[in-house]
A and B are shown apart, each in its own frame.
Chain A
Amino acid sequence: MTRQIRAFIIFLTVFVLTLAVSCESENADNFDWPDYDPTPIELEIPGGFPPVIIPPDNPLTKEGINLGRKLYHDKILHIDGLLSCSSCHLQEYGFTSPGTAILPHINLAWSRNFMWDGKFDMINVNLEYVSLFEVEDFMQTNVSRLNEHEHYPGLFYEAFGVKEITSTEIAYALAQFMRTQVSGNSKYDQVLAEGIGTPVFTEQEMWGYELFFSETGDCFHCHGNKLFTDNKFYNIGLDSVFEGVNKGLYSVTGNPADLGKFKVPTLRNAALRNGFMHDGRFKSLREVIEHYNSGVLNSPTLDPVMTKPGKEFGLGLSADEIDALIAFIHTLTDEEFLSREELGPP
Chain B
Amino acid sequence: MRNLIIFLPVFGLVLLGCNSDRNSVEPDDSTLTVYVSFNFDLSHIADGTFFTKTEAGYPISISRLQFYLSDWLVERKDGSTINSDIVSLIDAQDEDSRRFSLDIEAGSDWETMHFLIGLPTYLNHTNALENTLENQNMAWPDPMGGGYHFLKLEGRFMDGEDEYGYAMHIGTDPYVIPVQMHLEDKAEVISQSGEITLEMSIKEWFANPHTYDFNQDGNYSMGDTSAMLMLAQNGQHVFTLKN
Residues of B within 8 A of A244 (CB): none
Main secondary structure of the interface of A (DSSP, over half): loop
Residue of A nearest to B7 (CB): A16
Q: Does B226 contact A (CB under 8 A)?
A: no
Question: By the criterion CB–CB under 8 Å, are A300 and B133 in contact?
Answer: no
On whether the beta carbons of B4 and A215 are closer than 8 Å, the reply is no
- Complex CA–CA separation, A51 to B134 (angstroms): 11
Q: How far is the CA of A110 from the CA of B130 in the complex (A)?
A: 15
Which one, A17, A112, A220, A309, contacts B218 given CB within 8 A?
A: A309
Query: How far apart sit A302 and B48, CA to CA, in the bound complex (Å)?
Result: 11
Kindly list chain B residues whose C-beta atoms are within 8 Å of the C-beta of A304: 63, 154-156, 165-167, 219-220
Distance (whole angstroms) from the CB of A249 to the closest CB of chain B: 11
Q: Which residues of B contact A231 (CB under 8 A)?
A: 133
A-B pair number, CB within 8 angstroms: 96
Q: Counting CB contacts under 8 A, is B84 at the interface?
A: no
Cβ-defined partner of A257 (8 Å) among B48, B137, B165:
B48
| Cβ-defined partner of B143 (8 Å) among A213, A222, A306 | A213
Q: How many Å lie between the Cα of A279 and that of B165 in the bound state?
A: 25
Q: For the complex, is A50 an interface residue (Cβ under 8 Å from B)?
A: yes
**A16-B8, A49-B131 are contacts. A305–B141 as well, Cβ < 8 Å?**
no
- Say whether B137 contacts A300, CB under 8 Å: no
How many residues of chain B get a CB closer than 8 Å to chain A's CBs? 33
User: Quick check: A232 and B137 within 8 Å, CB to CB?
Assistant: yes
Does B47 make an interface contact (CB < 8 A)?
yes
Are A305 and B167 within 8 A (Cβ)?
A: yes
Chain B nearest Cβ from A2, distance in angstroms: 20
**A308 interfacial contact with B, CB 8 Å:** yes
Q: List residues 129-175 of chain B with CB under 8 A from any CB of chain A.
A: 130-133, 136-137, 139, 141-144, 154-156, 163-167
Q: Which of B141, B154, B220 contacts A214 (CB 8 A)?
A: B141
* A20-B1, A225-B131, A304-B154 known; A50-B136 Cβ under 8 A: yes
Nearest to B64 among chain A residues (CB) is: A304
Residues of A within 8 A of B133 (CB): 50, 110, 112, 231
Q: Which residues on B sit within 8 Å (CB–CB) of A209?
A: 143
- Contact A220 B141, beta carbon cutoff 8 Å: yes
Within 8 A of A (CB), among B189-232: 218-220, 222-223
Main secondary structure of the interface of B (DSSP, over half): mixed
Asked if A149 is an interface residue, CB under 8 A from chain B, the answer is: no
Q: How large is the interface on A (under 10, 10 to 19, 20 to 34, 35 or more residues)?
A: 35 or more
Which B residues, 1 to 29, have Cβ-Cβ distances below 8 Å to chain A? 1, 4-5, 8
Interface status of A221 (Cβ within 8 A of chain B): yes
Q: Is A227 an interface residue, CB under 8 A from the partner? A: yes
CA distance A224 to B46 in the complex (A): 23
CB proximity of B52 to chain A, nearest CB, Å: 16
A292 to B18, CA, bound (A): 55
Is A256 among interface residues, defined by CB-CB distance under 8 A? yes
Is B121 an interface residue, CB under 8 A from the partner? no
Determine which of A50, A214, A256, A301 lies in contact with B144 in the assembled complex, contact meaning CB atoms within 8 Å. Answer: A214
The answer to whether A215 and B136 touch across the interface, beta carbons within 8 angstroms, is no
Q: Is A307 an interface residue (CB 8 A)?
A: yes
B29 to chain A, nearest CB (A): 27
- Which residue on chain B has the smallest CB distance to residue A214? B143
Question: Which of B47, B48, B136, B164 has most chain A Cβ within 10 Å?
Answer: B136
Give the residues in chain A near B130, CB-CB below 8 Å.
50-51
A215 to B131, CA, bound (A): 22
Decide if B165 touches A305 in the complex (CB within 8 Å): yes
- In chain B, what residue has the closest Cβ to A209? B143
B139 in contact with A16 (CB, 8 Å)? no
In the complex, what's the smallest C-beta–C-beta distance from A22 to chain B, in angstroms? Answer: 12
Contact (Cβ within 8 A) B165 A306? yes
Query: From residue A279, how far is it (CB to closest CB) to chain B in Å?
Result: 24
Instruction: Say yes or no: A220 contacts B139, CB within 8 Å.
Output: yes
- B243 on the interface (CB 8 Å rule)? no
**Nearest CB on A from B49, distance (A):** 8
Q: A213-B141, A225-B131, A304-B63 are in contact. Are A16 and B4 (CB under 8 A)?
A: yes
Contact between A227 and B144 (Cβ–Cβ < 8 Å)?
no
Contacts of A16 in B (CB 8 A): 1, 4-5, 8
Q: What residues of chain A lie closer than 8 Å to B139, measured between beta carbons?
A: 220, 224-225
Besides the known contacts A16-B8, A222-B137, A256-B48, 7 further A-B residue pairs in the complex with CB atoms under 8 A apart:
A12-B5, A19-B4, A20-B1, A48-B127, A214-B223, A255-B46, A303-B63
A and B contact pairs by CB, cutoff 8 A, 25 listed: A16-B5, A20-B4, A48-B127, A48-B131, A50-B131, A50-B133, A50-B136, A51-B130, A213-B141, A213-B142, A220-B141, A225-B136, A255-B46, A257-B48, A257-B63, A300-B48, A301-B48, A304-B166, A305-B167, A307-B164, A307-B165, A307-B220, A308-B167, A309-B219, A309-B220
Chain A residues with a Cβ under 8 A of chain B = 12, 16-17, 19-20, 48-51, 110, 112, 209-210, 213-215, 220-222, 224-227, 230-232, 255-257, 300-309
The 7 closest A-B pairs by CB, nearest first: A304-B165, A257-B48, A213-B141, A307-B165, A230-B137, A225-B136, A304-B154
B-side interface residues toward A, CB under 8 Å?
A: 1, 4-5, 8, 46-48, 63, 127, 130-133, 136-137, 139, 141-144, 154-156, 163-167, 218-220, 222-223
